[in-house]
Amino acid sequence: MRAKVAIIGSGNIGTDLMIKVLRLSEHLEMSAMVGIDPASDGLARARRLGVPTTSDGVEGLLEMPDFDGIRIVFDATSAKSHQANAARLMPLGKRLIDLTPAAIGPFVVPAVNLAEHSDAPNVNMVTCGGQATIPIVAAVTRAAHTPYAEIVAAIASRSAGPGTRANIDEFTETTAHAIEIVGGVAHGKAMIVLNPAEPSMIMRDTVYCLVDAPHPGQHNDIVASIESMVAEVAAYVPGYRLKQRVQIAQVPSDQPVHTLTGGVPVTHQVSVFLEVEGAAHYLPRYAGNLDIMTSAALRVAEEIARATAGRGALA
């Protein structure tokens, strides 16, 4: 039996996620699309696709006839709204997958730590930059001691809607924290660039790590670990790929990297350049930043539903 799911947020992310559930999911059934604007394209599209809708927000969801049967709720609203939504839904036993920077529940990056948190009542999908880069940070840390990592996520300005722009500060703070918690480094930093170029550019991400890896064999291990991780992420985000070969260079003796590592000695810097192209289910191909969020959220929900299919209900 498929697990019934609802999506709160009828904007671009919520609509793309709905279409992914309808087209791609093996274990999920769309039972509700929730918004606050009766005229939104997302709600109109949901109705055309036969998905029950409400424009009364989470309170409208509570009143929907099939509410009791819904097991998983995706929240694609905002950090502030998710706090209120979680307060209403978690006491009712709903499993929440949070696509906002609220970070009430543990950070989850499917390729890195999904198994650790598959039973959590509320999981947070970090940010688009986090979903794209934290797997690479984790791949480096499992191959070499890595005291510092920073990422730069460059996305098309047209793909950054009001929600993204309103949460820019939360984006950098949440991503940096998740680099440390999930990526496994002592010090993490995150930056985002909204690129106004026309035609719109595909999402690009740069990952920069400082490692203690004096032996050439360790460099081969780092590259192999990164390439393996890229393949794992690409299994659920087909447009995810290395833009060029991994670069590993010796840290110059006069470079004051101790200010970044907290004084921990390092020998080399690892630079990884990524590209994320969207699947164009609803969003344009350049909006890989949004596609990786919905793809990762779908992957989490699929695993939750699959793992609990034999229990008769989601614990």
Q: Would you list the domain boundaries of the chain?
A: 3-125+293-311, 128-286
Q: Is 120 exposed, middle or buried (0-12, 13-18, 19+ CB in 10 A)?
A: middle
From CA 205, how far away is CA 192, in angstroms rounded? 9
Q: Say what the pLDDT of residue 311 is.
A: 58
> Does 287 have pLDDT greater than 80?
yes
Give the H or E element holding residue 150: strand 145-156
**Mean pLDDT over residues 80-100, rounded?**
96
Query: Which pLDDT score is estimated for 190?
Result: 97
314 vs 161 pLDDT, higher one: 161
- Please give the CATH number for the structural domain made up of 128-286: 3.30.360.10
CATH of domain 3-125+293-311: 3.40.50.720
Catalytic residue from among 128, 139, 292, 314: 128
- pLDDT for 7-27, tens place per residue? 999 999 999 999 999 999 999
pLDDT at 310: 56
Residue 128 falls in the annotated catalytic set: yes
